[in-house]
Amino acid sequence: MTRVYIADAKPEERSALRLLLLDLKMKVVGEAADWVVTLANAPSTRMDMLLLEWDLLPINHGVQALAELRLACPGTIIVVLISHLSAREQAAFSVGADAFISKGEMPDRVSERLSAAATRIRPVL
């Protein structure tokens, strides 16, 4: 079972993601509404995938913060959730984000993208 950590500031969005993940037979192993809690708690959950709202990352240091998380969780698939398509997702990919999903996409499309991301999870040896 894929273990997922959700980091999103809005409780209603975390709730919707939880339901979507449940439908996909994935297990939510933790949640956070801010970056500090995410960075402090997510690595210890042994998550396979992190769903991370881009806007949680520190302003002007988002790329650096994402790189720091990648170092703490090298085997984790990082899916960046974004509100607006822009050059920000390109920066996310440059430091190791594995995918991005627009928050404006339909739930079935989000499910498809999450399932596709989960297929890239590699077992930790």
Residue 91 makes CB contacts below 8 A (sequence gap 6+) with 62, 63
| Cα–Cα distances in angstroms (integers) from residue 124 to residues 26, 46, 74, in the given order | 18, 10, 10
The helix/strand/coil state of 114 is: helix
Q: What is the pLDDT of residue 74?
A: 83
**Residue of higher predicted confidence among 28 and 81:** 28
Six token digits for residue 73: 């969780």
Six token digits for residue 43: 């690595």
In the chain, what are the domain boundaries?
3-106
CATH superfamily of this structure's domain 3-106: Response regulator (3.40.50.2300)
Q: Tell me: the pLDDT tens digits for 37-80?
A: 999 999 999 999 999 988 887 776 667 777 888 888 888 998 88
Residue with tokens 């999103």: 8
